[in-house]
Amino acid sequence: MARSFVSRLTGSFSEGAAENPTVAMVEAAYRHHDLDFRYINCEVPPEKLADAVKGARAMGWAGFNLSIPHKVTVIPHLDGLGESAAVMGAVNCAVAHDGKLIGENTDGKGFLQSLRELIDPAGKTIVMFGAGGAARAIGVELALAGAKHITIVNRDPKRGQTLVDLLNGKTKVKAELAVWNGTYAIPANADVVINATSIGLYPDVNARLDIALDGLRKGLVVADVIPNPPRTNLIRDAEARGCRTLDGLGMLVNQGVIGVKYWTGVDVDPTVMKRKLEEIFQA
């Protein structure tokens, strides 16, 4: 067979793209499995998102990831949504299929897979900070996995209530809003605490959630979705108090494996991706 000099293109559209390590782990998987694909990390401001999607279509991209702040606003620029993305109202992975771009969501599935290594969310009480795209994805997956109660802690009451209404309206979980207008006290009955905000994301690595640290009791599962840096202040504070912790690397790897399968049809080795991230962050 003649050699092709045209690689299939994938990538990511976001703001703060320079801090997103997804390109390194996905490219490592492509090389390991000898896939003639490339991943291009693109800085795309909100007003240029429509042009970026049109460009991907024009160049025949196999698909792309969406990160902050495009997970919700990309939806009108796509041709349809997968089932979970439709429930969540958030997309982090667009997939070219039969000439159309279909929005999927791998964030929640990637997080859930990581969480289950520590605890089964079925029947559990969960506190989650944030109400954006990542929080939507995670909240829906936790609800579908049988979580009993989810408290959404958010500074913007309207945005927080929107997520609460989505969870109560489309799943069987009991969700409620806690308006985050001061130092938040984690309830004593919480089984899992999740940071689904960007607090602590590089370059603002010294940022801390405004929470009462005495609520980080021994045995509590504390998860942070931030991959860069993986050891956020929340993770450090939780470890120091005897909590069981889950950093953002596992979620990033798991959702990456799912995304690459969508684009290439290949089940890639997650350890290749994780090794690359650990090498980058010296985790």
Question: If you write DSSP's letter for every residue of 44-77 in order, what string do you get?
Answer: --GGGHHHHHHHHHHTT-SEEEE-TT-TTTTGGG
Which member of 48, 54, 71, 170 is catalytic?
Answer: 71
Backbone CA torsion sign across 206, 217, 128, 87? positive
**Cα–chain-centroid distance for residue 202?**
16
| Helical H segments across 72-154, by residue range | 83-88, 107-115, 133-144
Instruction: In whole angstroms, give the CA distance from residue 80 to residue 62.
Output: 15
- For strands 80-81 and 100-104, give the pairing: parallel
Residues 6+ apart with CB under 8 A from 148: 123, 124, 125, 173, 174
Concerning whether 261 is annotated as a catalytic residue, the answer is no
Active centre residues (catalytic): 71
